[in-house]
Structure formats: C-alpha cells, structure tokens
Structure 1
C-alpha cells in the first residue's frame, strides 16, 4: 500500500477549517472525487458519499468531497458548485481541487492518478491508500471496506 499524497484544495465548503490528510492521520478518510456535471457522480457517487457520511457519522471516519474539474471548466465555477451543494443537500466537507496553470487535470487528481469521476479512495489510519475505485461501486462493497478499516486495530 502506498502513502496517500496530500490533497491540494483552493477552496472549501461545509467546513470552517481547511482539511489536510496530515492533520487527519490516525483517522480513516473517504475521499470522493466528483464533478457536478458528471452523470455517474450525480446519480450514484455523490449520493453514495452522502449516505456514507450519514451512516458513519458516529465513527471517526472523515468523509471529504473533492470537486475535481478536468473538463467544462467555465461551467463548473465555485458559485455553481455552491448551488449544487445546496440543491443536493450535501453536508460533508467539499474542497475544490487546485487547478494547474496550462494543464486540464487538477493537482490532486494528477497526484492520485485518477482515471476520471466518480472516484472513491479510502485512506487508512496510517495514511496508506486502502482502496482506489473508479466508476460506480456497490454501496455494500464500499461499506464493507470502510467498516473493515474502522474495525482494524489502531496504531
């Protein structure tokens, strides 16, 4: 298992403080990369992430959304994202993946070698990547992976 690279975020929603993986070390982190104009994200990935956030809210799992725009840049602004978050009633912290000048792929997406959206990445308590899934994933399978990580011995 590889150590998860730090996320690079230009703006945060649904959190008063910026989140970093280094500050979350010791807690499992579910990182959900999405785009608001991605049909698979809207129909499945983002609602699944909200369900995981709600289901595991009393555990030490930290759910983090990452709006990672690699196409239709002009349409997916922070103002549009704010409306999307409100309309879909998303309550987990969401960061905007940092754009890289002259490159279509944002910084965190590049660091993780993501193929597209939706992508769900589970980072273990030790900071290592436990799961890296692209596309639609079963709620049961993702829930089982999260539960196994939550049940793993600390330290």
Structure 2
C-alpha cells in the first residue's frame, strides 16, 4: 500500500487515452498531481477536475506535472474506457454526471462539458474478480479502508464486516491504482513531491490543492 511520506508507487495503467505516456518515476524533479476520477461521478467534473485544470494552467511551466487517471470501483457499465474516450474527444458525459451537470446548467450543446481536460489521462488497470474473498482478503480490505477499525465496538465491527462481505460479493473488478493508494472514493488528488514521495492523498473537494502544490514547489 502507498504510504504518506514514502515513495509513491507508479500508476498501474491499462492504457493512456490522452497525451504522452508517462509515470511518476519519470517526473522526478517536478511536483506531480494525479487527479483520479470516475466518468460517472458528478463531483469529479464539478469540483475535482476543474481544480486540477486551474492548477495545470497556472503551474505547468513552473515545475508541476498534472496527470489524470480514470478509475472504476462501481458502476462498471458506465465507468469504461469507451466512455472515457468519448468524454475526452467530444466532451460528452453520461449517467449521473450528465444528470447533475444538466441540473446545475453546467453543460453546453445539450450534453458536453464546457471545458476540455488539457493534461494526459490514463485508465486504471482493472482486474476481473473471480471467486469469493477469503477472510484474510476481507481483513486486508478493511484495514486499508477503515484504519480505525480496531477502535470499533464488537457490534459495529460485525455490522461493518457484513457490509464489506456484501460489497465484495458484488464487486466485479479490482482497480489496481485505486486500491494500491487506498483511496476512499472520487475525486481524489494524489500530490507527490519533487523526490517522488507521496505527500497528500486528498479525497473530495478540499480547495487546498494549489496551496499544497505551492508548498512543495518551495521545498
């Protein structure tokens, strides 16, 4: 698992859909931001991706590399490489993203993003799940995603274990980068310093991305 302060593992990529192929180890000397999103994720396109684009436009010539990574931990029929390619080439969005952005008047021409993603974008490596999870695998999943699990009461532990079993039973794929970085959801911004160490793993719309990038540029 990726740990804050330790070397950031390379992204596990199935394909680069836009831009030149690269990876974290090839960007040493730069501050690197990896903006992780799902195609079917309204918050990603209302908050996370626009914030990353703003940082890209301000700092792309100042020692900052911005990379996009689409992943899938749910809605596997919508969070596909085909829908990602459509989004990047035409701006067309689908599913919950389309519904939410339409509701807030943030689409143009009936269904397209009002902006273009300017940085390289990859698709996470997805591995098809087969068979039931072992007790050990469930334990690893809980430890990665609920670090304070041991502080739960016995009753709450059993409730959580039941939920995890149900989730894993219906889980069709493992998203390799998403799981290696123990992300809690999307949007997530991974912020890596000039030496290639993971410094921040930001979930949700924090508004702190530019401040953190500036701090790492000044080190």
Instruction: Tell me whether the two structures share a fold, i.e. TM-score over 0.5.
Output: yes
Is 2:184 aligned against 1:115? yes
- C-alpha separation between the residues in 2 aligned to 1:42 and 1:99? 22
Contact 2:186 2:204 in 1 (8 A): yes
Who is 2:173 aligned against? 104
Q: What is residue 7 of structure 2 aligned with on the other side?
A: 3
Could you give the per-residue CA deviations for residues 28-75 of structure 1, whole angstroms, max 9, x where no partner exists? 100111001112102110111111111112212110111011111122
The unaligned stretches of length 5 or more in structure 1 are: none
Secondary structure, aligned partner of 1:105: strand
**In the alignment, which residue of structure 1 is the partner of 2:33?**
30
Task: Indicate the SS of the match to 2:201.
Answer: strand
TM-score, normalised to structure 2, is 0.65
Question: Where do 1:3-22 residues align within 5 Å?
Answer: 3-16=7-20, 18-22=21-25
Aligned residues, how many?
Answer: 149
Q: Where does structure 1 differ by over 4 angstroms across 4 or more consecutive aligned residues?
A: none
Unaligned runs of 5+ in 2: 92-112, 130-171
User: What is the CA–CA distance in structure 2 between the aligned matches of 1:10 and 1:50, rounded to whole Å?
Assistant: 23
Deviation sequence 1:107-154 (CA, Å, 0-9, x none): 00111010110101100011111111111111xx211110111121xx
Could you tell me the TM-score, scaled by structure 1's length?
0.90
Considering only CA atoms, is the larger Rg found in Structure 1 or Structure 2?
2
Query: After superposition, where does 1:20-59 map in structure 2 within 5 Å?
Result: 20-59=23-62
Post-superposition CA distance 1:8-28 (Å, at most 9, x none): 011113313x21111112211
Q: Cα distance, 1:7 vs. partner?
A: 0.6
